[in-house]
């Protein structure tokens, strides 16, 4: 009887064990990594050969120069009517 | 009870038709020729259904954009709770790039929704950066 009570107590104690803390969330990517990823996605449909974005320069709020890992360069900007325009540049 | 994971994205997308009335004149200076859109043509239900059924955006891209929207919303939550992983200026750049991705998907394919997004570009940003209005949006 005592053994059963002890076992029951152990089981109940196990039920009350707090869950382990959640694993630490991965660190946020840098701003440059975030921007590169967005620009790569923007270019992906129009210029599949661009690949990864090697570097970029923000020329205005909605205007970027993007250099692709393929060696190509593009200007990515938003026109006054909200359309996104991608034009090739001299590398 | 936890809200569904898609709630932030839905809230952001549903805010499109409302945001234009909330902060007029807040659009980026460049966006001065957005197409005229009638506020009456889209209500919350219509917009929600329109996005769900829109053929302008493929399924894979819809999932990518939803994930990107959720991520940005989470970063704004962290920012408004005192997190400093990104500055407000950096979050604005991330927001602009996300809007560019959505706009590129919609242009030429879903003109009413693209026009609506263009008109609401600045006012959605105004709502995101304002702690009180952001809290209302995600509560």
Cα dihedral sign for B21, B27, B32, B37? negative
B48 Cβ contact list (under 8 Å, min separation 6): B10, B13, B14
For residues B107 and A79, the answer to whether their CB atoms sit within 8 Å is: no
Q: What ipTM score was computed for the predicted complex, to two decimals? A: 0.77
Question: Is residue B71's pLDDT more than 70?
Answer: yes
Question: Is residue A53's pLDDT more than 80?
Answer: yes
In DSSP terms, A64 is beta-bridged to A58, A76
Interchain proximity A38–B118, CB inside 8 Å: no
CA dihedral A48, A52, A53, A55 (to 10 degrees): -140
Q: Which of B79, B93, B99 to mutate to test the interface with A (most CBs of A within 10 A)?
A: B93
Lowest mean pLDDT among A78-82, B27-31, B67-71, B88-92: B27-31
Q: List, in sequence order, the alpha helices (H) in chain B.
A: 7-14, 16-22, 44-53, 59-80, 88-106, 111-129, 131-138
A75: three-class secondary structure by DSSP: strand
Higher model confidence: residue B45 or residue A51?
A: A51
Q: Interface of chain B against chain A, CB under 8 Å?
A: 28-35, 64, 68, 75, 85-86, 90, 93-94, 96-98, 100-101, 103-104, 107, 114-115, 117-118, 121
Lowest mean pLDDT among A51-55, B6-10, B93-97: B6-10
B52: three-class secondary structure by DSSP: helix
pTM: 0.77
């Amino acid at each position: 009887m005592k053994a059963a009570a002890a076992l029951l107590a152990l089981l109940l104690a196990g039920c009350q064990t707090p869950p382990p803390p959640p694993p630490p969330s991965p660190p946020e990517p840098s701003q440059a990594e975030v921007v590169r990823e967005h620009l790569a996605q923007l270019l992906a449909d129009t210029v599949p050969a661009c690949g990864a974005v090697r570097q970029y320069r923000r020329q205005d709020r909605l205007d970027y120069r993007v250099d692709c890992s393929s060696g190509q360069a593009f200007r990515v900007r938003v026109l006054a009517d909200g359309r996104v325009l991608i034009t090739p540049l001299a590398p | 009870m936890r809200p569904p994971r898609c709630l932030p994205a839905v809230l952001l997308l549903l805010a499109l038709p409302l945001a234009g009335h909330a902060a007029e004149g807040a659009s980026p200076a460049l966006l001065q020729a957005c197409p005229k859109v009638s506020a009456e043509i889209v209500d919350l239900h219509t917009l929600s259904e329109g996005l769900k059924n829109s053929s302008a955006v493929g399924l894979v891209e819809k999932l990518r954009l939803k994930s990107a929207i959720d991520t940005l919303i989470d970063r704004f939550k962290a920012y408004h709770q005192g997190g400093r992983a990104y500055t407000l200026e950096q979050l604005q750049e991330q927001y602009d790039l996300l809007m560019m991705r959505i706009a590129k998907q919609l242009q030429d394919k879903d003109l009413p929704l693209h026009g609506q997004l263009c008109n609401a570009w600045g006012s959605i940003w105004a709502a995101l950066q304002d702690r009180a209005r952001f809290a209302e949006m995600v509560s």
